[in-house]
Amino acid sequence: MLELRPNCERCNKDLAVDADVRICTFECTFCVECVDGPLAGVCPNCGGNFEKRPIRPAALLEKFPASTKRVYKGAS
């Protein structure tokens, strides 16, 4: 199950569970602005591509909440 991480790993922007967010196959999480801008569509951690993070239905968020653990590596 996806963690639904709460922030962009590059700029530390808060990301709502229903936000337009990008993840790679290792669930590295970035905002669209970082992916489309400085990262040029390539994950700086694994070199893979990004896909849109799916939305967890609101009815399931209570049973399966989003992660509160922040991952921040800063701009590279």
pLDDT tens, the chain, 76 aa long:
999 999 999 999 999 999 999 999 999 999 999 999 999 999 999 999 999 999 999 999 999 999 999 999 987 6
The domains located in the chain, with CATH, are 1-65 (3.30.40)
Cβ-in-10-Å burial (0-12, 13-18, 19+) of 44 comes to middle
List Cβ neighbours of 57 (8 Å cut-off, separation of 6 or more).
none
